[in-house]
Amino acid sequence: MNPSGKDLVTAESFREEVLTEIARLETSLQYIMKPRIGYALGYVVVIVLLVIAITIIFLRPNVLLMWLIVAFFLYMFNYIVFFLPTSRHMGQKKAKKDPNAPKKSVKGPLRYLFKKKRRFAFEAGTTMFLVGMVPLALSFFIIFGIGLIFTVYYSYFQEIFPQSGALWVVIQILVIMVYFILILLVTPQSQGFSRIARSFNKRIKAARSRSRSAFVVILAITGIILAVISIIGIGAILVPGTTFGKLVDFFQANGDENLALLLIALVLVFIIMRHFQAVGSRRMAANLVRNKIIELKSDSLEPLDGIILRARASPDPVFDVADFEKVKENYYNNAIYQLFESNFFGYSPVYLVVPRMDYVLDEKVMVYVGNPQK
């Protein structure tokens, strides 16, 4: 046997793993796209609530303060909803563990992950956080958009609220909106964060090879872009706490301190947020699964079939290790992420992208994950 190759049994066995993953994703896509009870009714309810909310804010300006307080509160603590009662991922029950199965130690794989795969650990954490924000974009565009319009109207046209405080609220809302636009452009659900980073890296290397002046220019442009993104990101994450505090103080000093109305506003804004979050999440999850299926077929299954066919046609049924390793790298970088469904007793499902723990805890798999791609 050729020492530079491997036998066909190995390739054919791995092909079955790829086919199993594709079949699992196709089943997941069917589940995601299955008509859900309450979607049409949800749109009707939310539209009615939006009309009621806009009418009340127009008739009672102080309700705008409640709306803004609730909007910033939910923006800062929206992750709390993931701790509420949920089903298992993809709406399926958790498989029972075999009591006789040997227990796997997680210390070794986790040590390997944070020691040798820090790049993947950072990417996974960033991906999970940003993907959780993607479905919220439409929700907060609507919620903060209403707050922005009425803040400008009541502060600069009706002069009911002080313009100095209103300006800070307007700036913060605009920063949050730009932040969500950046998240949508990065498309973290398709590992766009890493893809953009690799794109910048390629541009810098290409400029360096051309001339020193081109290298300096592209480096300066990259630095400016990263600085702007960092400032917007930090502002969108940290500053809302200050804005929230200022709104509460102003509300206590000038608003109608009616706790019941504030709680009603909280429920109303939460329902609006959750509905559009679920709608956006479903669309994101479906597109993500479709893209993963396409990539698995084009980057893993087709090259693997080619390797197997060439090996079968040769006198010695072996294949080149380098080609096979590239296929495995493509596969595991795709399959390392999976969807997790969070819902309220089966209703209003929201999908998160999380690392697949059986792969994360397998050092043989992690060898292929998180490597810099040229």
What local confidence, expressed as pLDDT, does residue 91 receive? 41
Report the amino acid identity of residue 32: I
Whether the per-residue pLDDT at 94 is higher than 50: the answer is no
Band (164; pLDDT cuts 50, 70, 90): confident
Share of the chain above pLDDT 70, in %: 72
Query: How far is Cα 74 from Cα 312, in angstroms, rounded to an integer?
Result: 59
What local confidence, expressed as pLDDT, does residue 246 receive? 74
Mean pLDDT (the chain) is: 79
Query: How far is Cα 62 from Cα 340, in angstroms, rounded to an integer?
Result: 40
For range 350-359, the mean pLDDT? 85
Band (138; pLDDT cuts 50, 70, 90): very high
Query: CB under 8 Å to 244, separation ≥6 — which residues?
Result: 69, 72, 73, 76
Domain residue ranges in the chain:
5-93+104-366
What local confidence, expressed as pLDDT, does residue 300 receive? 94
What local confidence, expressed as pLDDT, does residue 109 receive? 58
What local confidence, expressed as pLDDT, does residue 327 receive? 93
Band (128; pLDDT cuts 50, 70, 90): confident
Query: How far is Cα 87 from Cα 102, in angstroms, rounded to an integer?
Result: 27
Query: How far is Cα 360 from Cα 113, in angstroms, rounded to an integer?
Result: 8
Q: How far is CA 316 from each of CA 3, 59, 93, 305, 319, rounded to the nearest angstrom? A: 11, 83, 46, 17, 9
Taking only the tens place, the pLDDT of each residue in 172-185 is: 999 899 888 888 87
For range 72-78, the mean pLDDT? 86
Taking only the tens place, the pLDDT of each residue in 218-251 is: 666 656 655 665 666 666 666 677 777 777 777 7
* Contact present, 368 and 332 (Cβ < 8 Å): yes
Whether the per-residue pLDDT at 145 is higher than 80: the answer is yes
Axis crossing angle, helix 118-133 with helix 192-210, rounded to the nearest 10: 120
Band (95; pLDDT cuts 50, 70, 90): very low
What local confidence, expressed as pLDDT, does residue 332 receive? 92
What local confidence, expressed as pLDDT, does residue 93 receive? 43
What local confidence, expressed as pLDDT, does residue 318 receive? 72
Whether the per-residue pLDDT at 152 is higher than 70: the answer is yes
Query: CB under 8 Å to 109, separation ≥6 — which residues?
Result: 360, 361, 362, 363, 366
pTM beyond 0.85: the answer is no
Share of the chain above pLDDT 90, in %: 28
What local confidence, expressed as pLDDT, does residue 193 receive? 46
For range 189-211, the mean pLDDT? 60
Is 202 or 364 the better-scoring residue by pLDDT?
Answer: 364
